[in-house]
Amino acid sequence: MTTGLVIVNIAIMLLIIIGLYTMQKKHVSFSKRVFLALGIGIIFGFALQYIYGPSSSVTAKSADWFSLVGTGYVKFLQMIVMPLVFISILTAFTKLKLTSNIGKISTLILGILIATTAVAASIGIATAIGFDLEAVQVHQGDAETARAGELEQKYGEMLEGRTLPQQILEFLPANPFLDLTGARPTSTISVVIFAAFIGIAYLGVRRKAPEQAELFSKIVDAFYAIIMRIVTLILRLTPYGVLAIMTNTVAMSNVDAILKLGKFVLASYAALAVMFIIHLLLLAAAGLNPIVYVKKAFPVLTFAFTSRTSAGALPLNIKTQRSLGVSEGIANFAGSFGLSIGQNGCAGIYPAMLAVMIAPSVGIDPLSPSFIFSVIGIVAISSFGVAGVGGGATFAALLVLSALNLPVGLAGLLISVEPLIDMGRTAVNVSGSMTAGILTSRITKDIDSSAYNDADLKIEVEA
The predicted pLDDT at position 281 comes to 96
Task: Please state, for a pLDDT cut of 70, what percent of the chain lies above it.
Answer: 85
Given a cut of 80, whether residue 433 has pLDDT beyond it is yes
The predicted pLDDT at position 171 comes to 75
pLDDT tens digit sequence for 219-243: 999 998 999 889 888 888 989 998 9
Q: What are the residue ranges of helices labelled H in 56-141?
A: 57-95, 102-130
The predicted pLDDT at position 459 comes to 62
The predicted pLDDT at position 358 comes to 86
Average pLDDT of the chain to the nearest whole number: 83
pLDDT tens digit sequence for 246-255: 898 888 876 6
Residues 77-81: what's their mean pLDDT? 82
The predicted pLDDT at position 381 comes to 79
Given a cut of 70, whether residue 119 has pLDDT beyond it is yes
Banded model confidence at residue 428, pLDDT cuts 50, 70, 90: very high
Residues 418-426: what's their mean pLDDT? 85
Total-model pTM: 0.83
Distance between CA 48 and CA 165 in Å, rounded? Answer: 49
Name the helix (H) or strand (E) containing 315. helix 314-323
Q: Walk me through the domains of the chain, giving residue ranges and CATH numbers.
A: 2-453 (1.10.3860.10)
The predicted pLDDT at position 138 comes to 57
Distance between CA 384 and CA 337 in Å, rounded? Answer: 9
Q: What is the DSSP string of 366-383?
A: TT-HHHHHHHHHHHHHHT
The predicted pLDDT at position 134 comes to 78
Q: What angle, 0 to 180 degrees and rounded to 10, lies between the N-to-C axes of helices 2-25 and 238-251? A: 150
Residues 17-38: what's their mean pLDDT? 89
What's the gap between Cα 37 and its chain centre? Answer: 20
The predicted pLDDT at position 198 comes to 92
Banded model confidence at residue 13, pLDDT cuts 50, 70, 90: very high
Neighbours of 116 (CB within 10 A): 27
Banded model confidence at residue 140, pLDDT cuts 50, 70, 90: low
pLDDT tens digit sequence for 273-304: 999 999 999 999 999 999 999 999 988 898 88
Q: What angle, 0 to 180 degrees and rounded to 10, lies between the N-to-C axes of helices 57-95 and 238-251? A: 140
Residues 301-321: what's their mean pLDDT? 84
- Nearest Cα to Cα of residue 247 among 23, 49, 20: 49
Q: What is the DSSP string of 260-297?
A: HTHHHHHHHHHHHHHHHHHHHHHHHHTT--HHHHHHHH
Note whether 392 and 347 are within 8 A (CB).
yes
